[in-house]
Structure formats: C-alpha cells, structure tokens
Homo-oligomer: A and B are copies of this chain.
C-alpha cells in the first residue's frame, strides 16, 4: 500500500466491519478519484455520518469504487443541537445548510409558521443533503447534519425530546453571552421566519419551555440569526 493520498474524508453510509469491503456511491467515488486524486491502494479516511470513522484502503476506482475497511472506531457525541428555522427571504437555504453542517449542528428542521411557509421541493432537500455531506467532508466531522422535511410548529413541538434545553431567538430576549449553553445532551433552538413569529406561536414556544435569547443588538435576517445561534452553541460546546 502506498502512503496516504491527499487528505480525504469520504462518506460511507454503510461502513463494513474491519476486513470487510464496501462499495462507494458515485459521488464519493468521483470525489476520491477527481478531487483527492487518490489511487488504488491509497489509504483514506471515512465516516458513516453517524459517529463511526474508519481508515480504508482503495481496492478499485471508477464510478462505483470499492474500499476495504482497515480500522474502525466510534466517535462520541455527548451533545447535539437541533435548529428549527422559519422560512428566510429569498433562497438563503443553501449556504445556511452548509454553515450549520460545518458548525456541527445535528438537525436542520425547517418549520412552517403562520406567516411563512418553506417552498421546499424534493430537489431542494436533495441538494441540501448533498451540501451537508460536502460540509461534513470539509470539516472532517463524524456526524452528518440531518436535513429534515418541513413540518408545522405544532408537529415540531409535539416531537420535542424530553429534558432538552430550548431557546428561541428574540431581539428582546436575554443576551446570549449571559447564558451558559451546551450542558444538556440535547439543545433545540427556534429561529423565526423573516416576517416573525405570531403571538400565538411565541406563546406556544414559551409554554413549551423555550427561553428567549438575544443574539445581537440589532435585528438579524433569519439565516443570520440561525447561524449566529449555531456559532453560539458551537462555541459553548467547544469549551465543555
């Protein structure tokens, strides 16, 4: 086996046990051969996006490359963040997904609200999921951002994990810098759509234990607030 190829981080959703072989998807095969310029015999790193990371040897290349798993280990994830996001103006979803994935958010949950729905098509979800994979490669993370289908706020509240920390971005809320974050295993944040949340929605969130958090001294666009919240959470988590 040759020395390692260019640094790579391949996504292999179904990672075999050590000694086993796994075919790569067309996207990952292309990434390995064209972007990393890997060759047969090279060792590369991989993750299944669910916390397993592995060292692989390339057995064959081409449209559906084949790899052999050499070593495999599990990366713990003591804390996760889910972000619920109302629809932003225009087409800001793409880079939002990329940045949330880089910052290590676990779940991107688009939420349809009274004043704004997500114009989500299957193609868009598909594209977001590809962007999440690309960002996972880039930041060499062991966990893939889960991009969910849009749901109503009522359904999102219904599905809350018991005992999770809950925040709602709110310009009149408590300053983020005064809030210790990331101690709970699961943290959820809601960021409203560009026309804002209705009073009823604000009440429903407050009744469900969502704490108002102010992220800036001025109003932020939806996607900026979502990103600022994710940065706050990432910083809090990096320290703990």
Residue from B141, B224, B235 in contact with A177 in the complex, judged by beta carbons closer than 8 Å: B235
Kindly state the separation between the CA atoms of A186 and B182 in the bound complex, as whole angstroms. Answer: 28
Also in contact, A224 and B175, with CB within 8 A (given A215-B238, A231-B231, A234-B217): no
Kindly state the separation between the CA atoms of A47 and B98 in the bound complex, as whole angstroms. Answer: 34
Kindly state the separation between the CA atoms of A186 and B228 in the bound complex, as whole angstroms. Answer: 21
Task: Tell me the smallest distance from the CB of A82 to a CB of chain B, in Å.
Answer: 17
Q: Is there contact, CB below 8 Å, between B219 and A234?
A: no
State how many copies of this chain the complex holds.
2
Of the listed residues A102, A141, A235, the one surrounded by the most CB atoms of chain B closer than 10 A to its CB is A235
For A182, the closest partner residue in chain B by CB is B177
Q: How many residues in A have their beta carbons less than 8 Å from beta carbons of B?
A: 35
Q: Is there contact, CB below 8 Å, between A238 and B104?
A: no
Could you mark each residue 91-110 of chain A with 1 if its beta carbon is under 8 Å from any beta carbon of chain B, else 0? 00001000100111000000
Check: A2 CB closer than 8 A to any chain B CB. Answer: no
Kindly state the separation between the CA atoms of A178 and B217 in the bound complex, as whole angstroms. Answer: 21
Contacts of A95 on B, CB cut-off 8 Å?
A: 95
Q: Is there contact, CB below 8 Å, between B218 and A102?
A: yes
Check: A239 CB closer than 8 A to any chain B CB. Answer: yes
A-B contact pairs, 13 of them (CB 8 A): A99-B224, A102-B218, A102-B220, A104-B217, A139-B218, A139-B219, A139-B221, A140-B218, A175-B238, A176-B235, A178-B239, A215-B231, A215-B234
